Amino acid sequence: MASATRIIRGAYRDSIALMRLSAAIAELPGVEQASLVMATPANLDLLREAGLLEGAVDARPSDVLIAVRGKGDKALAAAFDAAERGLAESAAAATGGGAPGAIAPRSAEMALAAAPRSNLALVSVPGEYAAAEATKALRLGLHVMLFSDNVPLADEIALKALARERGLLVMGPDCGTAIVNGVPLGFANVVRRGAIGCIGASGTGLQQVTCLIDRAGQGVSHAIGTGGRDLAAEVGGATTLAALAMLGADPATRVIVLVSKPPAPGVARTVLAAARVAGKPVVACFVGAEARAAPERNVHHAPTLADAARVAAALAAGRKPATSARWRAPARLPRTAAGQRYVRALYSGGTFAYEASHLLGALLGEVRSNAPVRKELALADPWASVGHTVVDLGADEFTRGRAHPMIDHRLRNERLVREAADPEVAVLLFDVVLGHGSHADPALAIAPALRAARAAAAKRRQPLALVGFVCGTAGDPQGLERQTCALAEAGVILGASNAEAVRIAAAIARGAAAGVAASTRGARKRPPRKASAARRAATRKGGKR
């Protein structure tokens, strides 16, 4: 096995383009592994860890480094040629033809000169450059959606202060999704337009709420992402408050939904005070926090994302929302064998993982996670599950040098099969997220892993329950119907929402624990437990989506 590297100077490409090209090169005959990266110090370290690179290289962050391992020089040479051809093709596509001297804009300022009516910059450059690009955009008078993560907290505070000074909105950093005037930004679903305005510090939380609103026959006016830290004490809810004011004044918005993990207590007070005077009903869903049954003035508290969508849809339709939703387990739950006890949940959406940790904890007791609701429930090793486990595969430890699990299913697929090898596992629980930015056909991508997981359990004559849900709409590029059908065919029991999928999983696990092979009893929702101050403090630090 031989390996070699090549440097292409000054050939910046975005990470998705490079990952696509890497995957294509890795498929070539005789190539075992191929990686195209921008030669940043962090990326070079990753290549060294992967054994694809040895020693120092003379490369700058604006150079592309091609690292290939394969059988013999011929295969390597072919891989390099293909990589360079691929890079050249993407360059040709980017520059295009057109009139002489008509060049693609190289900066936001140039773009604005070419299109003076632009009003928003969608920034998704690597984290170390993100704050600078966002600052420039704000100075140029553009609102900003900052998709990039790894932006220092101090930069976030400075950006939001600058935005406030200029009367502009900064969504993010680490803002995964938004919908403005029907236009999807980042990882967003195609939802009907309507009267419900959404504000979310969590990307998948916003995606879940907007999708469920769509499915309930209502629509979304705007969905504003704020970034996961917006409701931390240091940031003080700057974007959330600005968005509340904006949607409060927006005639197209009749109901507002607010979604986040539990905010810092002081920030929660400020935000709820603003919500009370928003002039329209506000549904607040602080995922994992204490839920209040009774609405306070015009603020309705929803314990789960699904509840938030249900309540908002009812309000938008002019109906009084039901105070609590009764949930009944399906009449027939799958069998489990003796010794099968545990739920293993593998999520691509951070907020889904967090909500699942919280709900499963209430239903099953101790649940471990790499993004736990309480510190003491942290997994010692995020790569190894213990008892009931919820894993957020979108967390940093899993995404370093890899595409997000909503795009690349390989890591989760491997983990699904690994979990299935554990004879104590009764249920595999997972999310499937559709919409722009996500994998083009996630059901197809995950199917082989589900078959392999089932086969592994069958080998020792155990059944294995597969439970999931699809976060998506009929309008999404992947097609909700097509995805749900394919998953059902693969034997997945589908909940309508994360909360429902969690309850199904818990019901199966509890049935297994009670020694009931086929349960017909409904697993009723437990009354929410009172959250202690300590617990709230712990959850606040739960990290990004």
Binders of another protein in range 202-231 (CB under 8 A): 222
Contacting residue, 142, 371, 426, 506, with another protein by CB under 8 A: 142
- C-beta of 224 vs 287, nearer to another protein: 224
DSSP E strand stretches across 226-350: 255-260, 282-286, 299-301, 342-347
CA 180, chain centre distance (Å): 19
Contacting residue, 56, 106, 165, 380, with another protein by CB under 8 A: 106
Q: Restricting to residues 168-197, which ones interact with another protein according to CB under 8 A?
A: 168-169, 180-186, 188, 190
Contacting residue, 37, 44, 122, 465, with another protein by CB under 8 A: 122
Site string for another protein, 325-364 (x = CB under 8 A): ----------------------------------------
Give the binding range for another protein (CB under 8 A) out of 45-53, 107-115, 317-325, 358-366: 107-115
DSSP letter string over 337-363? -TT--EEEEEESSHHHHHHHHHHHHHH
What is the length of the chain?
A: 545
Contacting residue, 129, 375, 481, 529, with another protein by CB under 8 A: 129
Q: Restricting to residues 13-72, which ones interact with another protein according to CB under 8 A?
A: 14-17, 38, 40, 60-62
The reply on whether position 520 binds another protein by CB under 8 A is no
Distance CA 429, CA 468 (A): 5
Minimum distance from residue 102 beta carbon to another protein (Å):
8
Contacting residue, 125, 325, 337, 411, with another protein by CB under 8 A: 125
Distance CA 160, CA 94 (A): 32
- C-beta of 182 vs 217, nearer to another protein: 182
The reply on whether position 94 binds another protein by CB under 8 A is yes
DSSP E strand stretches across 10-134: 31-38, 64-70, 120-123
**366 and 534 Cβ atoms separated by less than 8 Å:** no
Contacting residue, 50, 88, 92, 110, with another protein by CB under 8 A: 110
CA 185, chain centre distance (Å): 14
Helix (H/G/I), strand (E/B), else coil: 231: coil
CA angle 133, 197, 291 (to 5 degrees): 105
Structure tokens at 215: 């499915």
The reply on whether position 441 binds another protein by CB under 8 A is no
The reply on whether position 105 binds another protein by CB under 8 A is yes
Give the binding range for another protein (CB under 8 A) out of 135-143, 357-365, 484-492, 497-505: 135-143
Contacting residue, 35, 148, 218, 357, with another protein by CB under 8 A: 148
Minimum distance from residue 66 beta carbon to another protein (Å):
17
Give the binding range for another protein (CB under 8 A) out of 46-54, 96-104, 317-325, 505-513: 96-104
Judged by CB under 8 A, how many residues of this single chain contact another protein?
A: 75
Tell me whether strands 64-70 and 31-38 are parallel, antiparallel or unpaired: antiparallel
Task: Write the CA distances from 377 to 157, 399, 512, integer angstroms.
Answer: 31, 22, 23
- C-beta of 102 vs 458, nearer to another protein: 102
How many helical (H) and strand (E) elements, i.e. helices and strands, does the chain have? 17, 19
Residue 223 amino acid letter: A
* Of the candidates 284, 312, 317, the residue with the CA atom closest to the CA atom of residue 299: 284
The reply on whether position 544 binds another protein by CB under 8 A is no
Check whether the bond before 173 is cis (ω within 30° of 0). yes
Distance CA 517, CA 544 (A): 38
The reply on whether position 154 binds another protein by CB under 8 A is no
The DSSP element (H or E) to which 389 belongs, if any, is strand 388-392
Contacting residue, 2, 3, 26, 128, with another protein by CB under 8 A: 128
The reply on whether position 455 binds another protein by CB under 8 A is no
Contacting residue, 85, 139, 451, 459, with another protein by CB under 8 A: 139
